[in-house]
Amino acid sequence: MKFLTLPDGTVLEDAFIVENFLQQYLQLDANKIFEELKSIGSLGETEVIPFSENGEIVKWVTGGHSALKFRGNNLKRRKIWCQKNYKKGMLKYGYTGWQHAISNATCDVQYVRPILKVASALDTFFLEGTEISDKIFKREEHLFNHYIATIYDDETYKIGFHSDKQTNFVEDSYFLVIKLGEARKFEFRLADQKKSKPFFSENLSPGTAIFVRAHSSDGTDANSRVQHGVPEMNQKCKISGSIVARCIKTVVPWKTVQKNIGRAQKTRERRIQRTRGEKEIGSVGEEADLVQNIVRLPEDQAKLTKAR
């Protein structure tokens, strides 16, 4: 167990890295888990994300899918969402850029074999009691109930620096990143010095676990103090990925979820129609200039660059 140490020497007791966690503590084969994950099919970019009563439809949602795009940009990663207690409703992890349209992508972990293996082994591990689990598992709600798998297809895929959006997290719970596939850089930087260089930048091998406490009432949790990310690499890097386990407290009944998706879709259609109407009124040339000017405003460029 290696604690994260800030540049000023402060040791964060609630952020730590455990190499070979999957192999040593969960008795699982990281390569096998990743192979199984990779063999799952992807949803087409224009396909509607289907809802199923039992949550048995499992597909990768690619970064070009409109429900995953962020401010019109393709995300440089693909994802699978799954959870426990599916029938009760969707466990919502509202990350930055979250859209109602992605809700139905969350499936029941029972139907995602490689993630189920990890989830079951994690439950056993936490209930057994070890130095690591005693640190994390303080209350029943501290058992993980939500899992997102991510794949970075090559060195150009990434996730920008961020703290996990923690409003939907159980108070004082940890999130856990388990690295898979090709060893790849994982970085931390200080959250209050956004432009600062990372103080931690290491190639993490498959099976490595990163534990980070989040959403403490006094705001001193590691997730609020540091940001993490998987940067783009300048040398070749084969396919890699992760499974992130979280403790989510927000449950949205599936009926409400479908209503919200419908409403959001209508709003989107109205917006598109309005834009079309405006285009028809103005001259085409003027409109084109206008659009280009808007896109070129420096603050918009900054936002686009920031989009992760």
Ligand X SMILES: O=C(O)CCC(=O)C(=O)O
Q: What angle do CA 92, 94, 95 make, to 5 degrees?
A: 140
Work out the end-to-end distance of the chain between its first and last CA atoms, rounded to an integer number of angstroms.
29
Q: Is 228 in the site for ligand X (CB under 6 A)?
A: yes
- 3-state class (DSSP) for residue 157: coil
150 binding ligand X? (CB under 6 A): yes
Residues numbered 69-98 forming contacts with ligand X, rule: CB under 6 A: none
From residue 229 to residue 268, the character string flagging contacts with ligand X as x (rule: CB under 6 A) and all else as - is: -x-----------x-x------------------------
Which residue from 202, 175, 198 is spatially nearest to 186, judged by alpha carbons?
Answer: 202
Q: Indicate the residue type of 240.
A: S
Nearer to ligand X, 58 or 68 (CB): 68
Q: State in angstroms the smallest separation of the CB of 150 from ligand X.
A: 5
Count residues binding ligand X (CB under 6 A): 10
Query: In whole angstroms, what separates CA 63 from the centre of its chain?
Result: 12
* Selection from 87, 91, 69, 89 nearest residue 78 by Cα: 69
Rounded to a whole number of angstroms, the minimum distance from the CB of residue 296 to Fe ion is: 31
Q: Rounded to 5 degrees, what angle do the CA atoms 86, 91, 95 make?
A: 145
Strand order in the sheet with 200-204: 159-162, 226-230, 184-190, 200-204
Q: How far is the CB of 204 from ligand X (least distance, A)?
A: 8
Least Cβ distance, residue 148 to Fe ion (angstroms): 9
- Should residue 164 be labelled a site residue for Fe ion when binding is judged by CB under 5 A? yes
Q: Which residues bind Fe ion (CB under 5 A)?
A: 164
Q: Which residues bind ligand X (CB under 6 A)?
A: 148, 150, 159, 164, 177, 186, 228, 230, 242, 244
